[in-house]
Amino acid sequence: MEMRQMKLMPISEFASPNSKCKEGVNGRNVTDLGGGSEVVYLPRFLTCGKSWEYFRYLDKHIPWTRPTIHVFGKPFLQPRDVCYIASKGLKELSYSGYKPDSYSWDDYPPLKEILEEVHKAFPGSHFNSLLINRYNSGNDYVGWHADDEKLYGPTPEIASVSLGCERDFFLKKKSQGEVVGERPNKRAKTNSVEKHTFNLKHGSLLLMRGNTQRDWLHSVPKRAKAESARINLTFRRVMQMAS
């Protein structure tokens, strides 16, 4: 057991709830992707200690499920745990043939706290729903996709908070004719297209806005060296008038 723990060195300096917190870099980096697409990254959105508090709470209290979704008509176990939180009365979310049950913000007060912090960081945003992901190890991932469901409107703003193990987040420009989905796609074009990588830190916030969901795909690929869990919160706004 001791030997195993020695071998499993976390890739992040903040990789476990027991590791010491160090000061990080504050501020925000804005990346103009061109064509009206933009990414804003805040590496130290939440303090390290608060981030571990949230991580422990969510890990324990969220009713996680790992649903079977459908990709190109075939059933596929989603490669991460998920949970959906939404304000009352919103149009139902449906993706890859899956309609998640929606839970209430009121049952998870820390989520309301984080939502408030997101709104403070981005005044004028009005998120009303949240998809939470738990990546238990580097084997869990999200494949290339865009959060371009109709119910988010034509220019969705997505705010993504990361807790726990650092993971790479990729963005690549959509290319014509490319077929994407949750399944790993070894033949996906990656060489010639424009690409950006963000190493998502514990306590960070990444916001995608403008035409990012229309023109770009994003993913969090498998990582053999990611030995510990990561929880990700993606805040979204369901348009009330969506049809």
Ligand X SMILES: O=C(O)CCC(=O)C(=O)O
Residue (147 or 227) nearer to Mn ion, CB: 147
234 is a contact residue toward ligand X (CB under 6 A): yes
178 is a contact residue toward Mn ion (CB under 5 A): no
CA dihedral 42, 44, 50, 51 (to 10 degrees): 60
Output the DSSP codes for 191-222: SSS-EEEEEE-TTEEEEEEETHHHHEEEEE--
- Please, what is the minimum distance in Å from the beta carbon of residue 145 to Mn ion? 6
Q: Which does 201 bind (CB under 5 to 8 A by kind): ligand X, Mn ion, none?
A: none
Is 211 in contact with 38 (CB distance < 8 Å)?
Answer: no
Token pair in block for residue 225: 């060296």
59 is a contact residue toward Mn ion (CB under 5 A): no
Residue (108 or 201) nearer to ligand X, CB: 201
Cα–Cα dist 138/144, whole Å: 16
- Please, what is the minimum distance in Å from the beta carbon of residue 45 to ligand X? 13
- Please, what is the minimum distance in Å from the beta carbon of residue 7 to Mn ion? 32
3-state SS assignment for residue 85: strand
Q: List, as residue ranges, the binding site.
A: 72-74, 133, 135, 145, 148, 218, 230, 234, 236
Q: List, as residue ranges, the binding site for 2-oxoglutarate.
A: 133, 135, 145, 218, 230, 234, 236
